[in-house]
Structure 1
Amino acid sequence: MSAPDQTDVAIVLAAGPRPEVDAWVQAGVVPVTVVPLDRWTAVIGRGRSRAGAPYDDGGLVLAARSLGPRAGPGLGFFVLDGRAVITVHAPGRRRAVRWVVWAPDAGLLRPPGLDLAGPGEIVAVAGCAPSVREELVELLHETSVRPHRMLQAVMATLELPGTRLVEEPEHADGLQEVAHHAPDPRQVGWFDDAVRDTVRLRRELGALP
């Protein structure tokens, strides 16, 4: 399977049972590589979404998709539009994705419309000691590194596996128990239909022009 463009990073570390993570992957619209890493299962985006525009950005679609209570909890690590993005999938039912967005030379951002995650949430989902929170806070105030390096530093601080995959997603291809998943065309069709139905409903309700 071909690797994504070097500027792209899309990694989700899921703590749920492997069969539940596989079921979550199979219901998606993004081609991915799945591989066990210690107590996590890594889901690595490997290209563009198969859905129609504007949902063809594989990294963004994967970042916005909730793991749900069975495949989660988990943490996502992405480079999107030159920014380092961390997504938090906390335990519990019906939990929305929460976000950390960081940009070089600017540090932490507060994009409107996103539910932002606090450092304590990240540390808790990672399974680290509460004392790691202060180290993570200090790290996220750094502004002079590349987004890839920021993600690797965060993962290392949280003692998470997969830091090499940030720079070399193709490294997963040689690991044990690796599996590649291409989106099921039926899932893609259902996704596109659902998006059209949502847009139509919002227009009928006056929420869209």
Structure 2
Amino acid sequence: MTSSSPSAVEPPRGLLLLGGSRAEIADWAKRTVVPLVVAPTDAWTVAVATGEPMTASPYDDAALLLASRPVPITAGPALGFFEIDGRAVVTVHGSGRRRGTGWVVWEPEIGLLRPPGLDLAGPAELVRIAACAPSVRDELVDLLHETRSRPLTMLQAVMATLSLPGARLLAEPERAGSMPSAKAHGPREVEVGRFEDAVADSVRLRRELGALP
């Protein structure tokens, strides 16, 4: 009788491109609960999710945790690209009027979604933060109206349209470690503890307010 080997765990599909102070980005990366590799490029610093977090279920999705994590103004602006639950998700951490995270959510066979409770970002904002010519907006709009791509393909196409680096790292995050000046940041127990305490406090407050059973 032959035994089958366990299937390989899919790596997380997610990265952030941060345009702020590299010292501030390094400080931000040290407080991660998701294994990251951070490396400078010409105009951006890329932070790639490279493994599973230490946090317990249901907070054990590395891509979702990184997508949901705020970026300080001094470390931004930033654009994030993630595959989450079969969807392509782009996050926008801008400046000026935008204080929170903006979201673009796309699903195969459907296209753009409007999830309730999320602050949606528009194509013009992505183009502005990526420092592209205004005419690129029309290309991006046409691309996001496509419905027959896979999430990973859509994310890489958006990055290519915006002339952003790192698209290959979405499919092969292990390559991030070989980039020049790359530095790995693993979750520290103190940061995991702080995250879990914050989650517990949030759940407790929502229960007190009657939002949870």
Place the TM-score, normalised by the shorter chain, in its bin: over 0.9
Which of 137, 157, 161 is the equivalent residue of 2:161? 157
Task: Note the residue ranges of structure 2 that are not aligned, 5 or more in a row.
Answer: 1-7
Q: Assess, with a 3 A threshold, how the Cα gap between structure 1 residues 81 and 170 changes in structure 2: closer, same or farther.
A: same
**1:178 aligns to 2:182 (yes or no):** yes
TM-score when normalising by structure 2: 0.92
| Alignment correspondent of 2:147 | 143
Task: Note the residue ranges of structure 1 that are not aligned, 5 or more in a row.
Answer: none
Deviations 1:69-96 (A, max 9, x none): 0111110000111111100001148711
AA aligned opposite 1:176: P
Which of 49, 53, 59 is the equivalent residue of 1:55? 59
Residue pairs, 1:39-188, within 5 angstroms: 39-92=43-96, 95-188=99-192
SS in 2 for 1:13: strand
- Percent identity for Structure 1 against Structure 2: 57
The whole-number CA distance in structure 1 between the counterparts of 2:205 and 2:173 is 39
User: Could you tell me whether the CA contact under 8 Å between 1:77 and 1:85 is conserved in 2?
Assistant: yes
Shift of 1:127: 1.0
SS in 1 for 2:125: helix
SS in 2 for 1:202: helix
* RMSD between aligned residues: 1.6
Shift of 1:205: 2.2
Q: Assess, with a 3 A threshold, how the Cα gap between structure 1 residues 4 and 118 changes in structure 2: closer, same or farther.
A: farther
The whole-number CA distance in structure 2 between the counterparts of 1:76 and 1:4 is 22
Q: Looking at CA atoms only, which structure, 1 or 2, has the larger radius of gyration?
A: 2
| Alignment correspondent of 1:5 | 10
SS in 2 for 1:183: coil
Aligned residues: 206
Residue pairs, 1:14-33, within 5 angstroms: 14-33=18-37
User: Could you tell me whether the CA contact under 8 Å between 1:68 and 1:95 is conserved in 2?
Assistant: no
User: Could you tell me whether the CA contact under 8 Å between 2:32 and 2:185 is conserved in 1?
Assistant: no
